[in-house]
Amino acid sequence: MPDDEKKKKKRDKDDWDTGVVIAHMNGDELPKYRRLAYLNRQKRPPKEERQKSDLTKKEKRAIYRAGFLAMLPQLAVILVGFGIVAVLLYFWLK
C-alpha cells in the first residue's frame, strides 16, 4: 500500500472513537462469587481433541430412558398439582 492510502485509512476513523479503553473486561468487575467461578473454570477442549464415547447407541438410549423415568414421578406430581388447582378454580369461579 502506498503511504497515501495508509494515511487515509487512519483518517477514516470516526471522530468519537479515540481508542481509549473505559472499562477493562478481564473479570475484575464481576462479583466475587462469579469471578471465582469464571477464573477457575477449565476451557473446553476443541472438538477434534475430545474423546469419543465408547457407549453404543443402545446403551445411550437406555441411559436417556432411565433419566426420563427417574424424572417421571416429579412430572406427575406437578401435573396433578396443576390439575387440582384448575378444578378448584373451576368450582370457585362457577
pLDDT for 51: 83
Q: How much helix, strand and coil, in percent to the nearest 5, is found in the chain?
A: 55, 0, 45
Residue 60: alpha-carbon gap to chain centroid = 24
Cα separation, 48 vs 31, whole angstroms: 34
Whether pLDDT at 10 is above 70: no
Q: How far apart are CA 81 and CA 73, in angstroms?
A: 12
45-91 pLDDT, tens digit per residue, is 777 888 888 899 999 999 999 999 999 999 999 999 999 999 999 99
Q: Which one has a higher pLDDT value, 9 or 59? A: 59
